[in-house]
Amino acid sequence: MAIRTILHYPDPRLRHKALPVAHVTPEIQKLIDDMAETMYAAPGVGLAATQIGEAHRIFIVDIAAEDEPSHLMVFVNPEIVSTDGSQTGAEGCLSFPGVTEDVKRAAHVSVRAQDREGKPFELEADGLLSVAIQHEFDHLDGVLMIDRVGMLKKRIIQRKMQKRAEA
């Protein structure tokens, strides 16, 4: 396992659309392990492969609190089957260090994916898990949290991140 470099906005690779994983191979499983090590080291609750420059439709999520055992969830070739309701809450992103903004998301999501072994599964999620799934799923399509805030907040975030990139 290895800690990978997380891409920060405005890196153009964050806008690339990820490609489906044909087969879960040992190389894909190693990528998933690297992603987990990277996410935990950051620390974060989710990470998409595109955030480390890998154009695969893979993301991971672990919303366990610090006093709870880790519960890593792996989503390979995820599909959001349905959404319901609405919730707005503070969201951060490892590609936007130090930025937290209120983002409107569905309150409930149904997702279909494969696990780290390539076995299909379906999941219903609410609350933080629902938000994390939607956030990471967006990354696979090149959609960033900055795309889900108002124009004024978007400009403020862009300036903050540009200054960070120049430092």
Give me the count of residues in the chain: 167
The type of residue at 22 is A
Look up tokens 């959609």; give the residue. Answer: 143
Determine which one of 54, 91, 101, 136 is catalytic. Answer: 136
Is 136 in the active site?
yes
Identify the CA nearest to 143 among candidates 134, 152, 156, 151: 134
Query: What DSSP designation does 4 have?
Result: P
Identify the CA nearest to 146 among candidates 21, 167, 138, 83: 138
List 87's β-bridge partners, or say none: 105
Contact call for residues 17 and 56 (beta carbons, < 8 A):
no
- ∠ CA 27-29-30, nearest 5°, is 65
CA Rg value for the chain:
15
Catalytic residues: 136
